[in-house]
Chain A
Amino acid sequence: MSILAKQIRIEMILFLRNRQNLFLTLAFPVMMILLFGAVFKDQIWGGVSSINFLVPGIVVMSLMMVCMNNNAVKIVDERTRGIYRRLFLTPLRRETLLLSNIVVRYLVTIVSALLVIAVGIGVYGADIEGSRFLFWLILTLGSLTFISLGFFLTSFAKNTSSVMTLCMAVLFAFMFLGGCFWPTEQLPESIMPLCKALPSYHLNAAFRMVVLQNAGGIDVIKELPVVIGWFVVSFILAVKFFKWE
């Protein structure tokens, strides 16, 4: 087995042995879909049943929690405890460690999204249709965007509590202004330009186009320039500012 494969395996084992990770990235999104599904049961939002609207929104929430919040806290925790310092005394390459972190986050994102969708369909009879390929494509772009943003945010934080606060502030703004839990049409018109500048807004819109309207590739891609912009800028900033030690 290559060093990368071994490192991915160990990172996955470490992830699974941490109950806080499991709760935040897997149990919590399921709890949210159960809760919101129950609260807004039988409501119709913009011509669609609320559960069909909520499933993509909670997928976006879980994606942000897995890739940004939970990952950033993990990185800062390992950094402040001096784990990277020790690891890099061995021939382990930085790229290998970085890539193993990204792969684990990506896999957890997919599992978490599938769980939310399964609960939405199984418990509330959500009507999830559309192209699975496009759904996967949007999920992948969103995952890479928030992983990059998370890595960038760790460069501002000296300890885990400060990175937690920072990520939480970003997450809340992105969830509520990005339309994860309700249609953004319900928000004041004056803040719409802000909402439309957020990656979460367009990820939600793109997911809903796929699952609610069975939209095609061209329409979905037209929804994604802002997300791609966030990805590129976060990636560049992460490369420039991220520090292992």
Chain B
Amino acid sequence: MDTAIEVKDLTKTYGSLTAVNNISITIKRGEIFGLLGTNGAGKTTTLEMIEGLRRPDSGAISVCGLDVIKNRKDVKEIIGVQLQNTSIYEKLSLEELIELFGGYYKKALPTSEILEAVSLSEKRKSYIGQLSGGQKQRIALALALVNDPEVLFLDEPTNALDPQTRRSIWEIIEVLKAKGKTIIMNTHYMEEAERLCDRVGIMDHGEIIALGSPAELIAGQKTESLSGKDATLENVFLILTGKTIRDF
């Protein structure tokens, strides 16, 4: 079967606010799919519904053929999740933490392999509380990898990181893609989406307003208003979502 994630007619409302409005997405196995959008566009809510953290008001979600709501336990075994600002036991060493998480799953990768994958082998005896921001981000990624998941959810994996650390995380993600993992990620960095994602969906007001490969989206706007060095995903994003700041 070729489909990793199938989302159909997904809706979530909070009071009078429709956070996610009837969206459908199909993500192929081995694909990196990026969800882009302004703050409050519904990206995190969408991810959290697919992860099973939030219950949708309506719609259907399946991950590797399993219904996320009905088969919650089985889905947990095959997905890995990196949350925005993961906070975890500060007084455990990296090794202890990875080992602990590995114990929660039916199958888990060896701790040394996980730490190697995120280049934190030398820090294995350090407490989580002693790590830098970039190292914590990598540990959050490592926790998503312990069960060798088929599908990975990355919620702003390089948020607030320096360019070097950001690139190191990109490299980790590219290695995961080469291993055939399906990855769905949120990001505010268009450069990141252009480099990593096979396809992106741009969300606005809870709806997907554009869907395609970064190159397709750029090509779609090219004739109208973009040319030369302005032909970037960032400019496409600004044209589609407007230039007004979306704080609320």
Contact = CB atoms under 8 A, between A and B. Distances in A.
A190 interface: no
B101 A90 contact: yes
Interface in B69-109: 73, 76-77, 81, 83, 85-89, 91-92, 96, 100-101, 103-106
B87 A81 contact: yes
A82 B87 contact: yes
B96 A90 contact: no
Nearest to A11: B89
Interface string A1-16: 0010011001001100
Contact of A82 (B77, B85, B101): B85
Interface in A1-48: 3, 6-7, 10, 13-14, 17-18
A17 B91 contact: yes
A86 B91 contact: no
A3 B103 contact: yes
A86 B103 contact: no
B86 A86 contact: yes
A6 B100 contact: yes
Contact of A90 (B76, B85, B87, B92): B76
Contacts of B209: none
B53 interface: yes
Given A89-B76, A91-B73, A13 B87 contact: no
A90 B86 CA distance: 14
A221 interface: no
Contact of A91 (B77, B88, B91): B77
Contacts of B87: 81-83, 86
The main secondary structure of chain A at its interface with chain B is helix
Nearest to B91: A17
Contacts of B106: 91
B83 A90 contact: no
A86 B100 CA distance: 13
A158 to B, nearest CB: 17
A92 B146 CA distance: 14
Contacts of A10: 89, 92, 96, 100
Contacts of B96: 10, 13
Interface in B128-154: 143, 147
B51 interface: yes
B83 A91 contact: no
B104 A90 contact: yes
Given A83-B87, A83-B89, A6 B53 contact: no
A196 interface: no
B76 A13 contact: no
A17 B89 CA distance: 11
A86 B83 contact: yes
Contact of B53 (A13, A18, A89): A89
A132 interface: no
Contacts of A82: 83, 85-87
B104 A92 contact: yes
Nearest to A17: B91
Contacts of A7: 100
A10 to B, nearest CB: 5
A10 B103 CA distance: 12
B89 A14 contact: yes
Contacts of A14: 89, 91-92
A189 B104 CA distance: 56
Given A3-B104, A6-B103, A91-B104, A86 B92 contact: no
B92 A13 contact: yes
Given A6-B103, A90-B101, A91-B104, A18 B85 contact: no
Contacts of B86: 82, 86
Most chain B beta carbons < 10 A, residue from A7, A83, A86, A87:
A86
Nearest to B80: A89
What 3 pairs between A and B have smallest CB-CB spacing? A90-B104, A17-B91, A81-B87
8 contacts: A10-B96, A10-B100, A13-B92, A14-B92, A86-B87, A89-B53, A90-B104, A91-B77
Given A85-B83, A90-B104, 18 more contacts: A3-B103, A6-B100, A6-B103, A7-B100, A10-B96, A13-B91, A13-B92, A14-B89, A14-B91, A18-B91, A85-B53, A86-B86, A86-B143, A89-B83, A90-B76, A91-B76, A91-B77, A91-B106
